[in-house]
Amino acid sequence: MVLDTDAAYLALKARDARFDGRLFVGVTSTGIYCRPVCRVRTPRRENCRFFGSRAQAEAAAFRPCMKCRPEIAPGLSLMDSSRSLADSAARLIEDAVHSGQALPLPRLAARLGVTDRHLRRIFQAAHGVGPLAYLGTQRLLLAKQLLTDTDLPVTQVALASGFASLRRFNAAFAEHYRFQPSRLRRESTASVTGQTSARSEGLRLAWRPPCDVEALVGHFARRQLQGVEEVDGLVLRRTLGWPHQGQRLQGWLSVRFVPERHELRLSTSPSLVPVLGALMQRVRQTFDLDADPARIDPVMALLPLPLRPGARLPGAMDGFEAAVRIVLGQQVTVKAARTLTQRLVDRYGTPLETPFPALNRLFPDAPTLAAADPEVLGKLGIVRQRVKALQALAAAVASGAIELHRNAPLQATLDALRALPGIGDWTAQLIALRALAWPDAWPASDIGLMNALGSRDPKHLTTLAEAWRPWRAYAVMRLWHHVETLESPR
């Protein structure tokens, strides 16, 4: 839903970034729709039509602005999507488009536990368009971003955006945007001096300000693994293995925060280009770019700490990797967990050549750790109970019995994790926080929370945390940051 039109126009005039991704304006005199942060001259009030989504604007025959780029605007957070079935469906569609997967409406409806007809009805009511139209908009916007921010051939852009053929892609692009994709590539190249260097900066991904970049980057810096990760100022780089069509692609990615533009720039190795759309979505989750501070910060103000606006929930590029780190972090400090994980990487990580001297190894995947000799794992300093937990987790992930990503069913995944040996509620809650992006995760027995809140009683901490729902995971990260940077390590 959008604001009433008078309030929406005020937000547009103020270029209020808090409404970025939640409000779009179509200008009838130009036939173009923009983000509220667009820097062009503010259109006259009578020429403005306001929409709550890009799909609604495109369904009304408006084309996306070439300057403010609606395709890079932040999207829905997980908590937003969990509020309604329609928004959950929208997020599943977006992830499917970016990962290059087909998601027929019957399968989508079955996954959500409803009929096709019911899904179409509620989706239309919530988003103003049907699920198929929404799917088409997401495909075209992904294609537009790849055409603008990369040098990928048009044919490869078409396939990466989910179109079965170049002919269908050209026809859909021309129908919706009224010009050919090749023209967009030519015009974007000609419109900016030094466009090659601009494209080399990578894909642009926006967030809603404010964003506590210092705390977010600091979280990853204190946990970086040699050979796998490197944090250099506002630049984070890492190696990554990614499943694709029965293979495991291997490469690296780099993200650079640009706080003055409220953006992040993503670059990857050529080997990961076939999964670029999926990586964009995972990066959005890892750095919580879709968070809405206007909803979260008022709750964080209730913490017994000075407010740091723009709290973010650090996620994970690889859900299994995050789970392994959490298992190895049971009952030890961050430093000790990092040491154990480093030994695991040094012993089982696959060597990888990259342009960056600090990046030379992949984190071991689930099949590798599931097949590892328990005695060898024990010699790394991992106690027997955690070896059993680690290998049970690896076997479950390798077999597909457990999936660790934000679209995995929350309660079923938590139950499956707790059923594994050596994995209790603390571990399951932190895996839900990091890998499933659950914003209300609450590991009540965490020693860092106890230190920050001055209590050793998990029930008392849980009672205190009721005031921080549904954003308790953000409270966890804020309390951890306070303990790690101002007092003692967790």
Q: Show which residues are catalytic.
A: 34, 446
Which residues lie below 8 Å from residue 202, measured CB to CB, with a gap of 6+? 149, 254, 256, 265, 266, 267, 268
Distance CA 180, CA 73 (A): 23
Structure tokens given for 39: 């820097």
Distance CA 351, CA 4 (A): 56
Distance CA 238, CA 219 (A): 15
Task: Name 249's bridge partners.
Answer: 242
Task: Name 240's bridge partners.
Answer: 251
Task: Name 160's bridge partners.
Answer: none
For residue 121, how many C-alpha atoms fall within 13 Å in the half-sphere facing its CB?
5
Distance CA 227, CA 225 (A): 6
Structure tokens given for 165: 């053929």
Count of all residues that appear for the chain in the document? 490
Which residues lie below 8 Å from residue 227, measured CB to CB, with a gap of 6+? 239, 345, 346, 349, 358, 359, 360, 361
253 contacts 237 by C-beta, under 8 angstroms = yes
Pairing of strands 24-27, 48-51: antiparallel
Residue (of 299, 272, 156, 276) closest to 205 by Cα position: 276
Plot region of 21 (φ>0 → left; ψ -120 to 50 → alpha; else → beta):
left
User: Roughly what angle, to the nearest 10 degrees, separates helices 410-418 and 425-434?
Assistant: 140
Alpha carbon 181 to its chain's center: 27
Phi (first) and psi of residue 264, to 5 degrees = -125, 140
Distance CA 338, CA 316 (A): 15
Instruction: Work out the burial of residue 39: count CB atoms within 10 Å of its CB; fewer than 13 is exposed, 13-18 middle, 19 or more buried.
Output: exposed
308 contacts 482 by C-beta, under 8 angstroms = no
